[in-house]
Chains A and B, each alone.
Chain A
Amino acid sequence: NAGVTQTPKFQVLKTGQSMTLQCAQDMNHEYMSWYRQDPGMGLRLIHYSVGAGITDQGEVPNGYNVSRSTTEDFPLRLLSAAPSQTSVYFCASSRRGQKADTIYFGEGSWLTVV
């Protein structure tokens, strides 16, 4: 019963370093998303994908890249980490359609950039 799996759970980076947050789902969901959550600001959409090979920018895409080579995986890449990217990152997946209960969140990745 894996659902949406995110790795790593915790990471500390130095300014300028690059890294990839991994997200995998085993529910054959078409839609996958990355959100970041900062204190007092709720979750904000970074990038979005409706299927393999298709990605779209969300509200706060700058500094992040994504790709969707398979249905299962949706990695988020930080090219050159900045302190402003210190946040909690959540990956989410859902199947195509409008059913409310199909949006599943991973457990989150806590990232600190020093």
Chain B
Amino acid sequence: GQNIDQPTEMTATEGAIVQINCTYQTSGFNGLFWYQQHAGEAPTFLSYNVLDGLEEKGRFSSFLSRSKGYSYLLLKELQMKDSASYLCAVRAEYGNKLVFGAGTILRVKS
């Protein structure tokens, strides 16, 4: 079976740091993706981890521990435009099929 868990909602203050966690149990693993999705729009790619450790990309960082089935997305210097849903997705071993979590709605307040 495939199971990916993320918190449903989070609220943070503009300028702060927020960490969105993702735990997964999947039959195969060939990388973990984070996507950002604004309401009414398509998901847009944020980050990708296939090896353990931290990947940094500007204000966004993503961490992976394969032994623990755990990842997090770290957003620094939060801006109002970061208010969106953040989706954690695991790529199965075969091809590029993705298994998605339900998403975390992040609300940034001033």
Contacts and interface: CB of A to CB of B under 8 A. Distances in A.
Contacts of B30: 98
Interface in B1-23: 2, 4, 8
Contacts of B58: none
Interface in B42-89: 42-45, 47-48, 50, 87, 89
A103 B102 contact: no
Q: Is the interface of B mostly helix, strand, loop or mixed?
A: loop
Interface size class of A (residues with CB under 8 A): 20 to 34
Contacts of A35: 98, 100
Interface in A85-114: 90, 94, 98, 100-103, 105-108
Interface of B: 2, 4, 8, 30-31, 33, 40-45, 47-48, 50, 87, 89, 95-103
